[in-house]
Amino acid sequence: MATNRRSSSSFGSYADGIVLRGMPILGLYPGDVYWVDSNGGGSSKGTFSSPVATLAAATALCTADNGDYVMMKPGHAETITGAGGITLDKAGVSYIGMGSYDARPTFLMDGAATVTCLVTAANVSVYNCKFVAGHADITTFSTITGKGCRFEACHFEDNVSGENFVAVFRAGVADNDFDGLELIDNVLDFGADVAVLAPINLLKASRDVRIIGNRINGDFDTSTYAAIYSGDIVALNIEIAHNLIWNAHDGNACICISLTNIASTGWMHNNYALGHEAASSTPFLAGANAIGQFNNLYVGDDNASGFVMPAIGADA
């Protein structure tokens, strides 16, 4: 059993602890800390000097709602196969990758188009990991059905040409099962792949979702056409802000963010979109007057500075 401790708060806020260069000082947190390293793993202890070899092994050591940490060492690598090949089912566990850029823990999602990460427990956090599509047309990287889930500073990309995600996040099997979802500062890079459906797709009614500071690049040429999509379902108190979106598709009005339900409430602000379809574009779509749109900028093919869409209005 590891002895380092942490608080029950998410790594994203460090509300009850101290950080050093963005990483928590683990001795100040009450939960247990388990270590993962594929280069030297295999032990059942999960300590720094005797780490386990896989994320699944570390998860099995964790206790739900204990505020446990799973720390992945730089260079850790796994190949994941099968539906639920990654299953995060212990509430309150934070998974933290160490290392920068290519040294971050890397998970190759492979084997079949059904390979996926399932987040079924509440208050699960994943930070600074790299997830790579190793098979053609993987339906989705993650299905999220746990409240308070947070993915932060993670990178999603294709392995080679023809190996790709169709979607990265598909949230919800039942209404409100992913309330409090936070997708913060991630990179979703679809490269030259076409026919991508929706990188971020909110499938059921939700509350308090925040999608902030993500970079999304792809050719979204199949309905829904949007990089961030919440169709005809109610999203209450949602915030979508500071996202950078490049939609290489050259038709269908280049929708980049779409919230269509008239009962939704929240904010869509300070997003920046680049697309091929300059004429009659609707890059930011909100079907409800209760979605406040502020300072969203779009530019088409003319290389001009972006312009506000919808146009700045006047108070009646």
pLDDT digits (tens, 9 = 90+) for 194-237: 666 779 999 999 999 999 999 999 888 777 788 999 888 999 99
pLDDT digits (tens, 9 = 90+) for 53-75: 999 999 999 999 999 999 999 99
Query: DSSP H helical segments within 24-176, as ranges?
Result: 55-61
From 126, 124, 179, select the one nearest 156 (Cα to Cα): 126
Phi and psi at residue 89, to the nearest 5°: -120, 20
10 in Cβ contact with 123 (< 8 Å): yes
Task: Express as a percent the part of the chain with pLDDT over 70.
Answer: 82
Domains and CATH numbers, the chain: 19-308 (2.160.20)
| Residue 169: C-alpha distances to residues 9, 40, 172, 190 (Å) | 23, 31, 10, 13
Rg over CA atoms, the chain: 20
Q: Cα separation of 271 and 291, whole Å?
A: 14
Report pLDDT for 112.
95
pTM across the whole model: 0.88
